[in-house]
Amino acid sequence: MIEKRSKLPYLFLAPVVLILLLFSYLPMPYSLYLSFNKLNPASGRYEFVGLANWRQMLMDSKFWESARNTFAYVIIFTVIMVVLGLLVALILNSKIPGTSFYLTVLFVPWVISEVIVGATWKWLLNPDFGVLNYLFGGLGIKCSDLITNPKFALVGVAIVAFWRGLAYTVILVLAGLQNVSNDYLEAASLDGCSKLQAFFRVTLPIFSPTLLVVTLLNMINAISQSGIILVLTKGGPVRATETMALYLYKEAFLNYQLSSAATMSIILAFVNMIVVAVYLAANKRNQEKEAE
Amino acid sequence: MKRKRIAALLLACGMLTGSLAGCGGGDSKDETLAESGAAGGGSGEVLTLMHYFDPNNPEDPYSVGFMALIDQFEKDTGIQIKLETVPWNEIESKLVMTNQSGNPTCDLSWVSSQKLSSLVNAGTLLPLDDYYAKLDTSGFIQQALDAATYAGDDKKYLVEMSVHSRGLWYNTDLVPEPPKTWDELVEIGQKVNDPANGVYAFAAYTPKSYDTAELYLAPFTWSAGGKLGNEDGTAAWDNEGARKALQFASDLKNKYGLMGDSCFVSDQSELRHNFLNGNVAMLLENTAQLAEINQSELGQAGKIKFAPIPGETGAAPCFTNGWSAAIPSHSKHPDLAWKFIEYMVQPEVQIAHSKFDGGLPILSECYEDEYFRSAQYPDIADNLAKNAGTMDPFVYYQEALESFSTVNMSYMMDPSQDLEAMLQSSAKEFNTKYYGS
């Protein structure tokens, strides 16, 4: 008997696919078009200018500065998130009492909007009237440096973004850790391995594909991060936290230079695509390994 | 099974409708007080006006005041106004995006005059010189005419509806007499500065933003005999006056400790609240905040006064701007739009508008009205008459001022740097990027 394929799944997918088409995929060719054209203010029409926009972008020191900031932010954020996320997940995986409660508490920042998170932390870190300087000032720690000092501002933004997004990483890591069979750990223990040795020699190798996927997902999030940065520092101090996403937003919506913004968006999309391609390949390898 | 399919189909349609609910329409409000109360008869033409106030909010004095003006216009001309409400900080973006599609959603829009260059560079605004030729502008204050003129082609692209300037607001409990010069600012500031007890002598919005330059960096530079830009729009801030201005700004914070770090990160509203709470003795701020300032506890007690920005040797020139009426370049009804503008620049309408707007009228004869001789208006009007200036003629206005403000912020954060070299490097970078020179 031949089974008739149900059309129901396609119906449920239709709204999402339509929105993705309208707001993500169809505008992409238009962005590419804009990157090779420039608005003539007198005529109000876009005119073909070849590679002029690309040349201007490559010669723009602010673009390179934003590219460096993006790279640095991705590294800082990903390292903090993966290392501390793994640590928290390991603690929660050790069957301590109240795990569900801790997980719930961890998720509270995740459900708060980025704008509110940025605005709240901005007040907490205010250099003159913020509560953190008041609490730690006596210990000689100036917490406000995290948003006022160009040397530390990227770290400050990464910490706030980490605070908000920790739960997401912990859940993913926890799921991966729970796939590591206890039999291996028991066998390692019988062979005389300490807990630390067991982690590095047994858990980590089995768990590494999941860790790679988590790392890549965090990198993808970091590349496009703009909401928290916009509210917390607006790209300051002195452009120290102005990432490509933020520079692009400014060019498009504050300076109304759509051609310049479109050119940058192509670069940003290309970088994202590379990371996503690596993520998909790693995920596929992970699934094949699990199937074995 | 059939019921399940119907239920699934309805659910999918519901999801689709729900997810598209945020699209289209936007903040347009078709049902406005104006439409519901509009008089019948007349031309029957409809003018769409994009503005930032909510016409359905009777608690907002601006809304009530503006709707009364609209009602009168409709009665006088028979032209109906359809309001499109957009948040004030999104109005220019929406105008640019919709106009570039060739189909703007309005015939006339309120825009900030500071954004003139950016809007013209984006091909958004209709030149108004032909309309201005029919208007008697002899009674306009010069700042309003200058603010309407684009440096790139000397054409006028908007009509200012009210004028806001900048100055020094001071708390008379802490500062009985305002400073007039930089030296006096330091002297008075040092007497009241008490950061340990949460009181800073001075505050001014200082991020790397174009409004920082408008607020005090440009005035300080002009007062020291310097300039920011050349007549052709190129950067010229690598001069001694600009260097002195930025050095003094840095000294206020680093040498004398009169400014807190919050000036770098706080919004203007946050700094204003610090001032109104008594944590700041003197604040450089826009006069547009007059109503809020006077509604505060200190304001109601008459303890907040206004003075010109202190300059190197006397009052500094101040920058002025204001919300303005502009016609999109693809507007379908430019002539109708101009009729509303002509109505709004009549003396009695200007006076009525200024009363709920908080700014000053653009017609000099309006200043004779009793209202503008009350509260801090005489001081503000006096400052406007004696010290108001216009920004140097930048074509890439926001970009230029932001570059200059970035040098200031960078130097304030690390005064060990070579300020002169920073100014030269910044000016050269700007000129290379935008002028290839």
Residues from chain B that touch A254, judged by Cβ atoms under 8 A, are: 93, 118, 398
Q: Smallest Cα–Cα separation from B365: which of B356, B374, B375, B354?
A: B354
Across the interface, whether the CB atoms of A233 and B265 are under 8 A apart is answered yes
Specify the pLDDT at position B290.
87
Residues from chain B that touch A257, judged by Cβ atoms under 8 A, are: 121-122
Please check whether residue B398 is in contact with residue B118, taking contact to mean a CB–CB distance below 8 angstroms.
yes
Residue B382, judged by CB atoms within 10 A of its CB (0-12, 13-18, 19+), counts as middle
Whole-number mean pLDDT of chain B?
89
- This prediction has a pTM of 0.83
By the CB < 8 Å criterion, does A127 face chain B? yes
What is the C-alpha radius of gyration for chain A, rounded to an integer number of angstroms?
Answer: 23
Across the interface, whether the CB atoms of A127 and B261 are under 8 A apart is answered yes
Q: Report how far residue B403's alpha carbon sits from residue A250's, in angstroms, rounded to the nearest whole number.
A: 14
Specify the pLDDT at position B22.
46
Q: Which of B12, B207, B262 is facing A129, going by the closest CB pair?
A: B262
Q: How would DSSP label each residue in A132-145?
A: HHHHHGGGT--TTH
In the predicted structure, residue B28 carries a pLDDT above the cut 50: no
Across the interface, whether the CB atoms of A11 and B121 are under 8 A apart is answered no
> Which site among A254, A258, A260 would you substitute to test the B interface, given the most B Cβ atoms closer than 10 Å to its Cβ?
A254
Specify the pLDDT at position B37.
39
> Which site among A144, A256, A258 would you substitute to test the B interface, given the most B Cβ atoms closer than 10 Å to its Cβ?
A256
Residues from chain B that touch A47, judged by Cβ atoms under 8 A, are: none
Domains of chain A from N-terminus onward: 60-291 (1.10.3720.10)
- More reliable by pLDDT, B170 or A40: B170
Which value does ipTM take for this structure?
0.76
By the CB < 8 Å criterion, does A216 face chain B? no
- More reliable by pLDDT, B193 or A5: B193
Specify the pLDDT at position B38.
40
Question: Stretch B78-97: mean pLDDT, rounded?
Answer: 93
By the CB < 8 Å criterion, does B9 face chain A? yes
Across the interface, whether the CB atoms of A239 and B406 are under 8 A apart is answered yes
In the predicted structure, residue B319 carries a pLDDT above the cut 80: yes
**Pairs of CB atoms within 8 A across A/B:** 114
Which residues 172-211 of A have a C-beta within 8 angstroms of B? none
Distances (CA, A) of B215 to B59, B65, B219: 31, 28, 7
Specify the pLDDT at position B58.
87
Q: Report how far residue B409's alpha carbon sits from residue B422's, in angstroms, rounded to the nearest whole number.
A: 11
Specify the pLDDT at position A290.
67
Lowest-pLDDT choice from A150-159, A270-279, B250-259, B304-313: A270-279
Identify the band that residue B30 occupies on the pLDDT scale cut at 50, 70 and 90.
Answer: very low
Q: Report how far residue B17's alpha carbon sits from residue B166's, in angstroms, rounded to the nearest whole number.
A: 48
Specify the pLDDT at position B27.
40
By the CB < 8 Å criterion, does A41 face chain B? yes
Identify the band that residue B16 occupies on the pLDDT scale cut at 50, 70 and 90.
Answer: low
Which residues 121-150 of B have a C-beta within 8 angstroms of A? 121-124
Percent of chain B whose pLDDT exceeds 70? 90
Question: Stretch A166-188: mean pLDDT, rounded?
Answer: 86
